[in-house]
Chain A
Amino acid sequence: MGSLRTCDRTEDTLKGGPRQIHKVLKKADMKAMKLPLLATLAVAATLTSCGGSVNGSSRTILQNKGSDTLVNVAQAWAEEYSKVNPSCAIAVTGGGSGTGISAMINGTVDIANSSRSMKDKEMTMARENGVEPVEFTVGFDALAVYVHKDNPIESITIEQLAMIYGEGGEVEKWSQLGIQMPEGASDEIVRVSRQNNSGTYAYFREAVLGKTGNYKLGSLDMHGSKDVVDLVEKTPSAIGYSGLAYATDHLKLVPVSSGGGAPVEPTVETAIDRTYPIARPLLMYTSGQPTGATKEYMDWILSDVGQQIILKKGYAPVRDL
């Protein structure tokens, strides 16, 4: 850098006195500062140019956060809604039902997505923060139980599921359910479950293990429905559960029966008519009765157009369309 010359020129500057020193120093300084200045300008220019290329003036931004089960539907709604109502943008974030609910309690979101109802304790906490959550059922989801494609199982009962997943349940091997695993697959059941702030986790516990039931230790707890699907696809002796919308063709969906009834296939239809035993409501919470942009958005979600979208994503709408 040029500043080095300050030192080379010591002799001249000495002759010139303090004023001269100052001048030389200043010169060196300016050269040294030129480059960072240019860099700053470049950054500033980039930012301004970005600003210019995005159109649209002032829009309302609604914050929508929560359930991973709902996140893809919420994303689809947000994408469609920006076409219907360009003056409103929806910011969608996942993280799990628990994340959405705690954000609602803290008042940092406009709409929280959840695949389970808020607990009384959470309601109290919200009220203490001056938030009055209002619940909307926006659809239904069949909680599909699935196994590897090569697993010969035909159907499963809720009780069997409880014995596989529940604390104190005795079923550890497929042979205990009378199932002969194909060559090469282990008889040991690999239980795939979800992390404990997941709404899917909470609903499965409630619906299968009962209000007071607990999960058996030793399951593989995945951070998202897609991870459960991926793992079960690759593991011959695995069993897993998630929202029906996540199921792929590479899995075997197991029909579920309860109370001695006939096994029911998990489909959108059986979720709508509530014959499938483990179908759950998908919920959205707003802080107080929604007004303005939030109300318009919630109304649109519950309209036929919004409900068609949730149907397309593999969930059941709240009413027949």
Chain B
Amino acid sequence: MTDIDFKSFKAQPLDYKNQRNQRLYRLLFGWMTVLLILPVLIILVLLTAKGAPALSWEFFTADPINGMTEGGIFPCLIGTIWIVAVALFASVPLGVACAVYLSEYAPDNTLTRLINLAIINLAGVPSIVHALFGVGAFVMFFDLGTSILAAGLTLAVMTMPVVIVSTRESLQAVPQAFREACWSLGATRSQTIRKVVIPNSVTGILTGVILEVSRTVGETAPIMFTGAALFLPFVPDNFFERLSSQTMAMSLHLFTVSTQVPNVPEELPFGVALVLIGMVLVLNSVSIAFRMYLRGQKKW
């Protein structure tokens, strides 16, 4: 048995100082994280507490009645779904095609860089500017009138950069070796893209799409002037008539009941907000779950 010289293991003043700093910084950054999460939690708790009394089966299936102070939000839900659907069908094919070109075909030259710059700038344009663009381009120039089609297309233009950027990134995440292997087997560039690159990046593309959807659901400004009505409980049956008619939408309805309509029971705007945020949360959770599922299938 030898006595261990514990003294040599004893912490020196410098160690104490480092330990103290360590604890301090852990605490500091820990609290910063908490501070970040706190608003989300407060919003959710507040909305749930104040909005839950408004929720009922009727709230989802009935028209707003009595000066929009009672009844449900059915036409707003349908309207939002339609606008989002139009935006998706317009922006996803175009956005994915654009991303494929930029990632797989475009040479690295000034033009490509300019295009990239334009996309980034487009993503930074405030939504109200997109709204004015939508009024000028779709409502007036293409003469679509204030309609679901015009609103959806405006949102499509607005969210296209999101789709392009996320698609391009997920395309570039596919290892170059996959492409090279495919080419070496004699496959053409377009075969490689269709059979190897896109199937392997579907996860990322879908993430972008769902991100787009959840952003589209909440946008108010771009649809305010291009297609959303403050009050229109009626939704036409005919497909084309519906596309060319105005519609109520969740986000604008929330704005309306909280700023325009007098004598609204307090829980109504909170209920609408809760449903809106619920839609976004559900969409995001589905996207995350879906992505995890797809990731699990991958071997690299």
Contacts and interface: CB of A to CB of B under 8 A. Distances in A.
B260 A35 contact: no
Interface residues of B, number: 57
Contact of A46 (B81, B145, B199, B300): B81
A176 interface: no
Given A61-B236, A75-B231, A92-B231, A35 B202 contact: yes
A195 B198 CA distance: 51
A21 B230 contact: no
Describe A's contact surface by its main secondary structure.
helix
A313 B146 CA distance: 28
Given A25-B195, A61-B232, A92-B229, A71 B260 contact: yes
Contact of A50 (B78, B230, B233, B262): B78
A89 B248 CA distance: 13
Interface in B68-97: 68, 78, 81-82, 85, 88
Interface in B112-155: 139-140, 145-146
Interface stretch (B8-16, B181-189, B272-280): B181-189
Given A47-B82, A93-B246, A26 B202 contact: no
Interface in B211-264: 224-225, 228-239, 241-242, 245-246, 256, 259-262
The interface centre, meaning the residue of B68, B82, B224, B234 with most chain A CB atoms within 10 A of its CB, is B234
A91 B245 contact: yes
B185 A1 contact: no
Interface in A109-148: none
Interface stretch (B29-37, B48-56, B291-299): B291-299
Nearest to B293: A35
A59 B181 contact: no
Interface string A44-86: 0011001100111111010100001001101110110010000
Contacts of A71: 230, 260
A27 to B, nearest CB: 10
Interface string A251-295: 000000000000000000000000000000000000000000000
Contact of B229 (A18, A25, A72, A91): A91
A173 interface: no
A36 B200 contact: no
Interface string A18-36: 1001000110110111011
B265 interface: no
A149 interface: no
Contacts of A56: 234, 236-237
Contacts of B289: none
Contact of B298 (A1, A13, A78): A1
Contact of B233 (A14, A18, A82): A82
A47 B195 contact: no
A61 B238 CA distance: 13
A3 interface: yes
Given A1-B294, A61-B246, A29 B231 contact: no
A216 interface: no
B238 A90 contact: no
A90 B300 CA distance: 57
A55 B234 CA distance: 9
Contact of B139 (A10, A92, A108): A108
B65 A79 contact: yes
A226 B202 contact: no
A94 interface: yes
The interface centre, meaning the residue of B185, B206, B233 with most chain A CB atoms within 10 A of its CB, is B185
A25 B235 CA distance: 45
B21 interface: no
A129 to B, nearest CB: 11
B261 A3 contact: no
B199 A21 contact: no
A321 interface: no
B77 to A, nearest CB: 9
Contacts of B20: none
Contacts of B246: 61, 63, 91, 93
A226 B260 CA distance: 6
Contact of B206 (A7, A36, A61, A93): A36
Report, nearest first, the 7 A-B pairs whose CB atoms are least far apart.
A32-B199, A3-B199, A89-B234, A25-B195, A91-B232, A92-B231, A91-B229
8 contacts: A7-B178, A7-B181, A39-B206, A56-B234, A75-B68, A78-B232, A90-B231, A90-B232
Given A32-B198, A61-B246, 14 more contacts: A1-B298, A3-B196, A3-B200, A10-B185, A13-B185, A21-B185, A28-B196, A29-B195, A29-B199, A32-B202, A43-B88, A50-B235, A54-B235, A58-B237
